[in-house]
């Protein structure tokens, strides 16, 4: 019965995607990539919400609450919602008014085609990492709830989503997103009451959590060090990551695809703001479910499993804390969340490769039929790359955060200056990118076993007195120093400064009111 239900669910995804593909009328690249700039406001709002409310969002929120604190649990969902609101207030209207086709187009207009292709690499890499995170979330959930093999679950999911994305592009992705978001809301809504009942109600769950973790039961960290958990270093690290998520959630092509698909600049702005509000609101159900997982009296073997693999918190809830049918609907929520975001991510990465790298840079005379084949082939290749990466990672929340880390440090300064600094030039962009990359890599990356190279705490101790040892995580050796924000801020300063210093020999390009991309 469960496997049949999942099979019917995937069949319905494919059917919706196939039917939506019939909305492609002119058959142009703009139809495939940005829905012919004809997407209604309600569809744009729901597809954007569905894209951000992904598997990492659901599993990562519950995981953060269970293993760490309420502040860690809400961090991803709330900060990503804020990023959508900020994107709507400051970026969406301008991007849509310029008639761009992808995130990379303003880089091309300001810095040239070749350097824009280089800047597209971290953007495509981030989308691929994100796709892998989604598949990890889905595969682990299938394994816990249904007992299926991880590899099988990941492969089946990737194949189905990749196929309907290849067929209809943005139209297929958008309408399946709307359908999949309804599954997310339904699954969470029916799972929450029995989960709360299993732990004696919301008051009992909260009392258990607050009693066991008095310092970790606030939604935000304290202003000053308090207790053993909220040290000065952990507070700084929390805000460092939060800033990274809020600003790093903006320079994503999957976000701007929906912005650019809206019918007018005004609707593009409102779709982003409304999506941000919905994204923040949908943080509440997985947050409460995480509380239930913590308060539940787990058998010894499952408690030991959660201690080792806290990412299984939500799947184990669906398997053991609620009735089987409710658990199946909860699984449907995760399936809907993952598949909606996975399709958005691989379409986004393929669009940047096909449009900016192939069409704009390498083969300007590329015909429309060939471009479509390139786009569909890129979707297949990037989907395969995400599958391979998904089989090699463990923490859903860590990979979820790393993707925003990448675009925050390398692309946010570039996007701000490309859109709003008339004197930004190629030399400034190159300098900012290179320095930010070195500063970021110098801080190491625990997710991939990369140790810190630049001793930030030791360097700072020469300026201000601080306890160097406290700025390293005693378990992982990871830096707690806010080097990500430092790397992004350095790029934000260097780009305009170097641009003005080199203005005589590296002439700034004018950002036209309407990009050449509008002619697709």
Q: How does pLDDT run along the chain (520 residues), one tens digit per residue?
A: 667 777 888 888 888 888 888 777 666 788 888 988 999 999 999 999 988 888 778 888 999 999 999 999 999 899 999 999 999 999 999 999 999 999 999 999 999 999 999 999 989 888 888 888 778 777 777 777 777 776 777 788 888 888 888 887 888 889 988 988 998 999 999 999 999 999 999 999 999 999 999 989 999 999 888 888 898 888 988 998 899 889 988 999 999 999 999 999 999 999 999 999 999 999 999 999 999 999 999 999 999 989 888 888 998 999 899 998 898 888 888 888 888 888 888 999 999 999 989 988 888 888 888 888 898 899 999 888 888 877 776 554 466 567 678 889 999 999 999 999 999 999 999 999 999 999 998 988 877 777 888 988 888 887 777 778 788 877 767 788 889 899 999 999 999 999 999 998 888 888 764 344 444 4
Q: Are 290 and 64 in contact (CB under 8 A)?
A: yes
Residue 356, number of CB atoms within 10 A of its CB? 27
Tens digit of each residue's pLDDT (9 = 90 or more) over 211-231: 999 989 999 999 888 888 898
Q: How many CA atoms lie within 13 A of 469 on its CB side?
A: 2
What pLDDT is stored for residue 44 in this prediction?
A: 94
Give the separation between CA 512 and CA 109, rounded to whole angstroms: 8
Strand, helix or coil for residue 74: helix
Give the separation between CA 467 and CA 457, rounded to whole angstroms: 8
Q: How many CA atoms lie within 13 A of 471 on its CB side?
A: 18
Q: Determine the angle formed by the axes of helices 232-248 and 396-410, rounding to 10 degrees.
A: 70
Give the separation between CA 29 and CA 11, rounded to whole angstroms: 27
DSSP track, 240-308: HHHHHHHHHTSS-HHHHHHHHHBSSHHHHHHHHHHHHHHHHHTTHHHHHHHHHHHHS---HHHHHHHHH
Domain ranges of the chain: 2-402, 409-520
Which one, of 188, 194, 147, lies nearest residue 322 by Cα?
A: 194
336 sits in which H/E element: helix 324-351
Q: DSSP secondary-structure letter at 479?
A: B
Angle at 157 between CA 155 and CA 162, to 5 degrees: 95
Give the separation between CA 497 and CA 489, rounded to whole angstroms: 13
Give the separation between CA 272 and CA 478, rounded to whole angstroms: 34
What pLDDT is stored for residue 13 in this prediction?
A: 83
Using CA atoms, how far residue 353 sits from 295, 346, 411, in Å, is: 47, 11, 16
Instruction: For the chain, count helices (H), then strands (E).
Output: 23, 0
Give the separation between CA 312 and CA 314, rounded to whole angstroms: 6
Q: What are phi and psi of 39, to 5 degrees?
A: -75, 130
What pLDDT is stored for residue 11 in this prediction?
A: 86
Give the separation between CA 256 and CA 251, rounded to whole angstroms: 8
Q: Determine the angle formed by the axes of helices 396-410 and 113-145, rounding to 10 degrees.
A: 170
User: 2-402 — its CATH code?
Assistant: 1.20.1730.10
Give the separation between CA 325 and CA 10, rounded to whole angstroms: 18
Find how far residue 168's CA is from the centre of its chain.
Answer: 22
Give the separation between CA 23 and CA 514, rounded to whole angstroms: 26
Give the separation between CA 85 and CA 277, rounded to whole angstroms: 8
Strand partners for 450: 445
What pLDDT is stored for residue 2 in this prediction?
A: 67
Tens digit of each residue's pLDDT (9 = 90 or more) over 176-215: 889 889 989 999 999 999 999 999 999 999 999 999 999 8
232-247: buried (b, 16+ CB within 10 Å) or exposed (e) per residue? ebbbbbbebbbbbbbb
Give the separation between CA 481 and CA 470, rounded to whole angstroms: 9
Strand, helix or coil for residue 426: helix
Give the separation between CA 445 and CA 451, rounded to whole angstroms: 6
Question: Which residues of 25-140 form beta strands (DSSP E)?
Answer: none
Strand, helix or coil for residue 445: strand
Give the separation between CA 231 and CA 339, rounded to whole angstroms: 38
Find how far residue 114's CA is from the centre of its chain.
Answer: 26
Find how far residue 185's CA is from the centre of its chain.
Answer: 19
Whole-model pTM: value is 0.90
């Amino acid at each position: 019965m469960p496997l049949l239900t999942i099979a019917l669910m995937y069949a319905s995804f494919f059917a919706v995607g196939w039917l939506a593909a019939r909305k492609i009328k002119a058959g142009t690249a703009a139809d495939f990539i940005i829905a012919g700039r004809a997407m209604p406001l309600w569809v744009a709002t729901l597809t954007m919400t569905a894209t951000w409310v992904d598997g990492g969002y659901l599993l990562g929120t519950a995981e953060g609450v269970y293993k760490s604190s309420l502040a860690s649990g809400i961090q991803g969902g709330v900060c990503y919602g804020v990023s959508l609101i900020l994107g709507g207030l400051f970026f969406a209207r301008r991007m849509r008014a310029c008639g761009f086709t992808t995130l990379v187009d303003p880089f091309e207009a300001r810095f040239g085609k070749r350097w824009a292709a280089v800047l597209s690499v971290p953007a495509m890499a981030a989308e691929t990492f994100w796709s892998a995170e989604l598949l990890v979330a889905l595969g682990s959930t299938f394994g816990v709830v249904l007992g299926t093999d991880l590899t099988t679950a990941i492969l089946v999911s990737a194949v189905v989503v990749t196929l309907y994305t290849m067929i209809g592009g943005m139209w297929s992705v958008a309408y399946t997103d709307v359908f999949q978001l309804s599954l997310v809301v339904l699954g969470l809504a029916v799972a929450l009451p029995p989960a709360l009942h299993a732990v004696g109600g919301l008051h009992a769950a909260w009392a258990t959590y607050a009693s066991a973790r008095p310092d970790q039961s606030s939604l935000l960290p304290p202003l000053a060090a308090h207790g053993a958990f909220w040290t000065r270093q952990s507070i700084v690290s929390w805000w460092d990551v939060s800033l990274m998520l809020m600003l790093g959630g903006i320079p994503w092509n999957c976000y701007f695809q929906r912005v650019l698909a809206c019918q007018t600049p005004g609707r593009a702005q409102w779709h982003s703001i409304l999506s941000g509000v919905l994204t923040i609101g949908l943080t509440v159900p997985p947050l409460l479910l995480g509380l239930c997982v913590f308060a539940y009296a787990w058998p010894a073997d499952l408690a030991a499993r959660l201690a080792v693999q806290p990412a299984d918190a939500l799947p184990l809830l669906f398997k053991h804390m609620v009735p089987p049918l409710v658990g199946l609907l909860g699984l449907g929520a995760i399936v809907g969340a993952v598949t909606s975001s996975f399709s958005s991510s691989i379409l986004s990465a393929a669009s940047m490769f096909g449009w900016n790298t192939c069409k704009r840079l390498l083969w300007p005379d590329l015909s429309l039929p060939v471009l479509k084949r390139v786009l569909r082939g890129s979707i297949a290749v990037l989907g395969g790359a995400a599958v391979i990466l998904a089989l090699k990672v463990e923490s859903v929340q860590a990979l979820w955060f790393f993707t925003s880390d990448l675009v925050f440090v390398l692309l946010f300064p570039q996007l701000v200056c490309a859109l709003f600094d008339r004197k930004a030039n190629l030399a400034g962009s190159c300098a900012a990118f290179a320095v930010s990359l070195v500063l970021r890599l110098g801080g190491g990356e625990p997710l991939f076993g990369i140790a810190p190279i630049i001793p930030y705490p030791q360097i700072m101790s020469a300026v201000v007195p601080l306890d160097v040892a406290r700025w390293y995580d005693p378990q992982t050796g990871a830096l707690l120093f806010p080097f990500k924000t430092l790397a992004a801020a350095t790029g934000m300063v260097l780009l305009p400064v170097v641009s003005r210093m080199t203005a005589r020999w590296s002439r700034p390009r004018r950002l036209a009111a309407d990009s050449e991309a509008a002619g697709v």
